[in-house]
Structure 1
Amino acid sequence: MPQRYDNYPRNAIVTGADSGIGKACAVALAEAGFDIGITWYEDSDGARRTAEEVRSAGRRCAVAELDLTRLPGAASVVDELADELGGLGVLVNNAGTGAASPFVDTTFEQWREVLSVDLDGPFLCGQRAARRMRDAGTGGRIVNITSVHEHAPKVGSAAYCAAKGGLGLLTKVMAQELAVHGITVNSVAPGEISTPMTGQEDTDPFTEDRPGIPVGRPGDAREIAAVVALLASPAAAYVTGASWIVDGGMMLMGPQGAARLESTAWRET
């Protein structure tokens, strides 16, 4: 008979949680009753502020630096944080980077940095988490933050799109293989979200007009975090191998959006 896996440790690790989507996920999971491990890169003050919000929600928070260009060794942070928390039930692979460069001008160094952070990192961190969850025998949740560019290309983002597309398919293979251990694996694919990565760290998305997006505005990082919190919960035990597009309807606009373009500016990086 299939086994129930709803007693996994209420401990979650969120990579890249010093700002933006990662910070929102850490806080949302804390509010859902998880103790949190967070990683940061470059912004130690941001990590400190995230930790303060987690603790204000009444949960414990462990903090560690993570540089995903220093692999494979850097992925050991998953085990270090899990040991400090006393177990691991949820991993959110959020840390990421990007590069804006035409395909023909993208250097191998740029290519490798983006692939290392956006694909190699989640692969290695996911392995570490899955092994711990499997060996504990209590199941768990892995959520990979991808992008709408898991599914659709963008001019000037060859490395980013390749990494996110690869992570999307890796998510499905992980879901197939890990389901027998009670571990679900899903991706969340944000559209335009008001975060530091999009140059909108302090922007209220409801003050921004986006005619090409059906809901008419960018998203808020907390709207991504709400989906992540659902997928991290015991209630989502029957959801695995799915890509949750959270984009205000942006991906629906392909043919209609193309028909409304009045210039070739889209070809520019």
Structure 2
Amino acid sequence: MPNEIAIITGASSGIGRATALHLAGLGYDIGITFASNSQGAQETARRVKAAGRRVAIRQMEQTDPASIHAALDALVTDLGGVDVFVNNAGTLAFDDFLSLKLEDWNRVVACNLTGAFIAGQVIANHMAASGTRGRIVNLSSVHEAVPLKGGAAYCSSKAGVGMLTKCMALDLASRGIRVNAIGPGETATPMSGAVEGEDVAARKRPELPISRPGKPEEMAEAIAYLASPNANYTTGTTLYVDGGLLLMAAIGNQRTIMEALGEKA
């Protein structure tokens, strides 16, 4: 059992909650933040306690630097340190490029990229000050690498998270801190309209090699791997957990070629 401390932002539902519960099951004490879903955060905390682990909660506004500092500093104090940080909190906005409002662009970038930078810096400073050989896992997206129609703000913010991860890994390596990211594809969370515990296999995605959305628990498994000693030689990378979405261009290209060959025949 690790008997270590993990802090997860945005853990009132979805990937954040699944990660908190999975890491608690592995023996981590857990700190969680939430933005507005206090009831959801309390439920996550209840389940962590039921797993026999300590838990601390703080409200945090991901777009407010002062709130990030206050919440994360308090969690580190409450729990007595931090070994693993899951930089999970984020938001969405989709609109055609010609219609995208600057306020929506600024909100998404402030939350997904600037907020992730501030939170990562706060935690990394705690790790460095205590000499902790820590692990930071940022939540990116498969859309770090693949554009999405109407996704200028979201995709740009996640591409930024991918490069932020690499730069953090370079700068923090000398401190013994590893930094990686996961890049989920579509995941069945409340943010995507899913209900916790629903059968994701019922959501057919025939265009994907694995023809369904991902489960929050599958993302939590990937995060736990990157936080574990099994990944001690891994830093500065994004692990895509996308059901094969990155392969869709190859599938589409094959279809186009086969159709063209059929026409020639």
Q: TM-score, normalised by structure 1?
A: 0.91
Contact 2:60–2:67 (Cα < 8 Å) also in 1: no
1:227 correspondence with 2:198: no
Tell whether 2:235 aligns with 1:243: no
Q: Output the amino acid matched with 2:155.
A: C
1:119 to 113, 137, 146: 113
Cα distance, 1:77 vs. partner? Answer: 1.4
Which letter maps to 1:207?
A
Aligned-residue sequence identity (percent) comes to 47
Query: 1:258 & 1:58 partners in 2: Cα distance?
Result: 51
Residue 210 of structure 2 aligns with which residue? 215
**SS of residue in 2 equivalent to 1:104:** coil
2:33 maps to 1:13? no
Instruction: Supply the distance in 1 between the matched residues of 2:67 and 2:42 (Cα, whole angstroms).
Output: 24
Q: Report the alpha carbon displacement of residue 180 of structure 1 after superposing the two structures with TM.
A: 1.1
Supply the distance in 1 between the matched residues of 2:17 and 2:252 (Cα, whole angstroms). Answer: 32
Q: Deviations over 1:86-144 (max 9, x none)?
A: 00111101000010111121111111100111001110010011111111112100000
The offset of 1:41, in angstroms, is 1.4
Q: Does 1:86 align with 2:97?
A: no
Find the partner of 1:67 among 40, 61, 66: 61
Map 1:89-108 onto structure 2 (within 5 A). Answer: 89-108=83-102
Q: What is the TM-score normalised by the length of structure 2?
A: 0.92
Q: 246-255 or 64-73, which moves further after superposition?
A: 64-73
How many angstroms does 1:260 deviate by? 5.5
Provide the aligned length of Structure 1 versus Structure 2: 254
Q: Given the alignment of the two structures, is residue 48 of structure 1 paired with residue 48 of structure 2, yes or no? A: no
Q: How far 1:236 sits from its partner (Å)?
A: 1.7
Q: Which residue of 2 aligns with 1:130?
A: 124
Cα offset, 1:73, TM superposition:
4.2
Structure 2 stretches lacking a partner, 5+ long: 257-265
The Cα of 1:201 is off from its aligned counterpart by 2.3
Q: Is the 8 A contact 2:134 2:178 kept in 1?
A: yes
Q: Which amino acid aligns with 1:158?
A: A
For residue 235 of structure 1, report the CA deviation from its aligned partner: 2.7
**Aligned partners of 1:26 and 1:36 also within 8 Å:** yes
What code does the residue aligned with 1:23 have? R
Instruction: Report if aligned partners of 2:61, 2:67 keep a CA contact under 8 Å in 1.
Output: no
User: C-alpha distance in 2, partners of 1:116/1:138?
Assistant: 28
Match of 2:199 in 1: 204
The superposition leaves residues 32-68 of structure 1 with CA deviations (integer Å, 9 ceiling, x where unpaired) of 1111000111211110110011111110110011111
Equivalent position SS for 1:88: coil
Q: Is the 1:194–1:201 Cα contact (8 Å) retained in structure 2?
A: yes
Stretches of 4+ aligned residues off by more than 6 angstroms: none
CA distance in 1, matches of 2:71, 2:169: 23
1:76 matched to 2:76? The reply is no
Q: CA deviation digits over 1:227-247, x for unaligned, max 9? A: 101111223211101110001
Counterpart CA distance in 2 for 1:258 and 1:50 is: 43
Query: Does structure 1 residue 110 correspond to structure 2 residue 104?
Result: yes
Q: Report deviation, 1:170.
A: 0.6
Determine helix, strand or coil for the equivalent of 1:87: coil
Whose Rg is larger?
2
CA separation of 1:258 and 1:194: change in aligned 2, threshold 3 A: farther
Unpaired runs of at least 5, structure 1:
1-6, 262-269
Question: Are the counterparts in 2 of residues 75 and 121 from structure 1 also a CA contact under 8 Å?
Answer: no
Question: Matched residues in 2 for 1:114 and 1:259: separation?
Answer: 35
